[in-house]
């Protein structure tokens, strides 16, 4: 036992010496959890502690951990051919593109990258070049929503509507404009959800007009704002935005990086709203994060603008690792698992049960709202239910720490907008068992009871 403790301590010291952690605040004595093993919905650290991963890593391990068939798919592909750049092609990229199109139930061209940020960067470049080659070079601006997240690279971060993510990195890329999100919990008193959502959509059209419609290239949005606080629009909002895009010749870019591959209870989040996006970006659940891979799916008629003899009309973008053969082969097997195990409908069922089980938390003195779609949930904490004043950072941290102390990892909408990092988030693997769900509910209820 002493040798085990010594080994763990040695790793922690080496970690402090060599590893710069993502999103970490640098405080003395903060030791990271060193994960050593994972299976199903559970992660085991180097000290043998077990945690149910209520966030699927970073919203991404949709089919759960320890899927040997995914490792085998990547292994077999690596043995046959480990790498091929997509300046040419390879079989697994072709078959995956065909499969994604069948899932989208439409006709898109598939461009591969290796992260959600990359996929959105590609979308912005494609949109600008499309308009340029359509005789409208003045169309270069993009509209997105405050509180939304679209990535870390300069263009994707410019589209992101989270001020704390941008602070000290600005100025970023120009041509990115933001509007208010549909935050139904904080809508004006006496206004219906439908009226409020139509008003928020109208703000987008107003912005297009005020900015001069000849300058607007696209609108980017998630089907629901996920990491920014689980803000779920009414269907009238999404349909109205689609209508606005068509009316003004603006491309509709839907960011499915988190919502895709079953997370919301449908294969893709936008399918809840009966819309046909011009461009769709996806990552995370595409491989359940077993290997890096992302996709920018582009409508065929948009693609045709790049198929010209004119000099420089082709899309001049290269990604060394995008569409890696092993990642594509693994993604095909991942989608096969999602379909064969009915994880999309399982997501809808688990999400419905989770919300029902936690319904009585709404009477808790510090719970303002509980909202979710599929197996994705947000719990908004407040200091006062009447004023809806966001809960303090300490109160939010106490809930997260309490859950971890009881073996459950959850998160929050961290480093988004100052004073509004008050929404707890859950996004467990879609493969979670009934026992896993019962454990999640029991821990959350216990911790909230201790924090009344």
195 and 90 assigned to the same domain: yes
277 and 195 assigned to the same domain: yes
Q: Which pair of structure tokens corresponds to residue 10?
A: 């040695």
How crowded is the C-beta side of 353, counted as CA atoms within 13 Å?
A: 17
- Final residue in a domain of this structure, among 340, 371, 389: 340
Overall number of domains in the chain: 2
- Final residue in a domain of this structure, among 325, 340, 355: 340
234 and 268 assigned to the same domain: yes
Q: pLDDT for 1-19, tens place per residue?
A: 556 566 778 898 999 899 9
280 and 309 assigned to the same domain: yes
Q: Are 415 and 160 in contact (CB under 8 A)?
A: no
413 and 362 assigned to the same domain: yes
266 and 232 assigned to the same domain: yes
In whole angstroms, what is the distance from residue 34 CA to residue 15 CA? 9
Sequential DSSP letters for 390-445: EPPHHHHHHHHHHHHHTTEE-EE-TTSSTT---EEEE---TT--HHHHHHHHHHHH
102 and 204 assigned to the same domain: yes
- Final residue in a domain of this structure, among 340, 373, 393: 340
Q: pLDDT for 104-157, tens place per residue?
A: 999 999 999 999 999 999 999 999 999 999 999 999 999 999 999 999 999 999
pTM across the whole model: 0.97
298 and 196 assigned to the same domain: yes
Q: Are 124 and 218 in contact (CB under 8 A)?
A: yes
Q: pLDDT for 286-315, tens place per residue?
A: 999 999 999 999 999 999 999 988 889 999
377: domain CATH number is 3.90.1150.10
Average pLDDT over residues 71-91: 97
Q: Give the mean pLDDT of the chain.
A: 96
113 and 58 assigned to the same domain: no
Q: Which pair of structure tokens corresponds to residue 375?
A: 């197996």
185: domain CATH number is 3.40.640.10
User: What domain range is 428 assigned to?
Assistant: 2-63+342-450
Q: Are 431 and 342 in contact (CB under 8 A)?
A: no
142 and 53 assigned to the same domain: no
């Amino acid at each position: 036992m002493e040798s085990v403790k010594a080994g763990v301590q040695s790793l922690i010291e080496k970690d402090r010496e060599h590893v710069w952690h993502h999103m970490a605040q640098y405080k003395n004595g903060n030791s990271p959890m060193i994960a050593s093993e994972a299976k199903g919905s559970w992660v085991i650290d180097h000290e043998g502690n077990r945690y149910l991963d209520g966030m699927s890593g970073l919203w991404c391990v949709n089919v759960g951990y320890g899927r040997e068939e995914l490792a085998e798919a990547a292994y077999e592909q690596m043995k046959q051919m480990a790498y091929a750049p997509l300046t040419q092609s390879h079989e697994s990229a072709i078959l995956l593109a065909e499969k994604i199109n069948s899932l989208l139930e439409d006709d898109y061209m598939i461009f591969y990258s290796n992260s959600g940020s990359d996929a959105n960067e590609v979308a912005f470049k494609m949109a600008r070049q499309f308009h340029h080659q359509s005789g409208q070079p003045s169309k270069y601006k993009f509209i997105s929503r405050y509180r939304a997240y679209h990535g870390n690279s300069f263009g994707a971060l410019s589209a992101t509507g989270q001020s704390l993510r941008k602070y000290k990195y600005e100025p970023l890329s120009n041509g990115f404009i933001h509007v208010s999100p549909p935050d139904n919990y904080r809508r004006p008193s006496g206004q219906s959800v439908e009226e409020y959502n139509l008003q928020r959509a109208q703000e987008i059209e107003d912005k297009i007009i005020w900015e001069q419609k000849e300058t607007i290239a696209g609108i980017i949005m998630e089907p629901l704002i996920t990491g920014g606080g689980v803000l779920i629009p009414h269907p009238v909002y999404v349909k109205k935005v689609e209508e606005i895009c068509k009316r003004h010749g603006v491309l509709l870019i839907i960011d499915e990086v988190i919502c895709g591959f079953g997370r919301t209870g449908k294969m893709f989040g936008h399918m809840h709203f009966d819309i046909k996006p011009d461009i769709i970006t996806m990552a995370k659940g595409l491989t359940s994060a077993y290997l890096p891979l992302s996709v920018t799916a582009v409508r065929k008629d948009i693609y045709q603008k790049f198929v010209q003899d004119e000099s420089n009309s082709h899309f001049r973008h290269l990604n060394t690792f995008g569409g890696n053969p092993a990642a594509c082969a693994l993604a095909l097997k991942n989608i096969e698992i999602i379909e064969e195990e009915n994880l999309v409908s399982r997501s809808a069922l688990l999400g419905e049960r989770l919300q029902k089980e936690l319904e009585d938390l709404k009477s808790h003195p510090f719970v303002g709202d509980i909202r979710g779609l599929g197996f994705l949930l947000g719990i908004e904490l407040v200091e006062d239910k009447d004023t809806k004043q966001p809960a303090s950072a300490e109160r939010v941290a106490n809930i997260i720490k309490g859950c971890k102390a009881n073996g459950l990892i959850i998160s929050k909408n961290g480093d988004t907008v100052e004073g509004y990092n008050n929404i707890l988030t859950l996004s467990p693997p879609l493969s979670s068992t009934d026992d896993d769900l019962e454990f999640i509910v029991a821990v959350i209820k216990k911790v909230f009871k201790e924090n009344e």
